[in-house]
Amino acid sequence: MICAKNPFIFQTGLNLLEITGKKARNLKELADLIEDVPLSVIYYHTHHFLPFQQYVSPKSPNDFAYWIKKELHEEVLSEKIIALDLQRPLGIYELKERMLQLIKKYFANDEYRAYDARSGKEFNFIKAKVFIMPTGYKAYDLFELYDALKSVSTDSIYFHLFGTDSHFEKCVNHFSCWLRDELKEEALADCISQLDPFVFYAMETLRSQLIRPIYKRLKAVKT
């Protein structure tokens, strides 16, 4: 079994939330602000639920969809936005553009009647600044990776499975990259890259889904 030249260093991300002061009362304002805010804001409102869902699924994996349904009572549009996440993993920029297309098409319909959310129920845009911190865990091979994955926090697993690049344009699966580049485990890397946060909501379930193919690979190596 290959031993990596560069170990996998387990880290975790700490989010510092910042209120942007930007609010939307209706679909038109929501679309305008989604188009205007940084991708880090879009990332927060579509992914922040994950680290906190240890054992149960959230009401909706997307803040925009949840608000559109609850406060504007547009259930059809809400379901269409949620469906974007279920089709296949999307980069943050692509997700933003697809949401905008759906919202603009929806309120451009002649039958659409504008509806404002009640006072105090506007959509508040939040920005998250991510601070990266070490966990003390590292792995040089599959055995060490397997052992570490059973012990690290789900916050660390979330960070490495669904972190973003420095521009928030796309999600980056650190495990798959390391397995492919350092251990030449192409098949295993491809398998793990298919893990989708919008299918396995609970983080402990994600831990199990991540460990399972690694365990199977280790059994194959031993035999």
Q: Would you kindly state where each structural domain of the chain is located, as residue ranges?
A: 8-13+129-222, 16-126
Neighbouring residues of 151: CB distance < 8 A, sequence distance ≥ 6: 137
Predicted confidence band of residue 67 (pLDDT cuts 50, 70, 90): very high
* Higher pLDDT pick, 17 / 201: 17
pLDDT in tens, 170-200: 567 899 999 999 999 999 999 998 887 666 5
22 in helix, strand or coil?
Answer: strand
The tens digit of pLDDT for each residue in 133-164 reads 999 999 999 999 999 999 999 889 988 987 76
171 — alpha (psi -120 to 50), left (phi > 0) or beta? beta
Q: What is the mean pLDDT of residues 90-115?
A: 89
DSSP secondary structure letter of residue 117 = P
Q: In 3D, which of 132, 68, 58, 54 has the Cα closest to residue 106?
A: 68
Judge whether 173 and 36 are in contact, CB under 8 Å. Answer: no
Q: At 179, list the tokens.
A: 């397995």
Residue position matching structure tokens 């697993």 = 157
pLDDT of residue 40: 86
Q: Please say if the pLDDT value at position 91 is more than 90.
A: no
Is the pLDDT score of 68 beyond 60?
Answer: yes
Cα Dmax for the chain: 65
pLDDT level of residue 93 (50, 70, 90 thresholds): confident
Which pLDDT belongs to residue 145?
97
Handedness of CA 220, 88, 139, 181 (dihedral sign): positive
Which of the residue ranges 28-32, 42-46, 174-178 would you say has the lowest mean pLDDT? 42-46
What is d(CA 177, CA 180) in angstroms, rounded to the nearest whole number? 5
AA identity, residue 51 = P
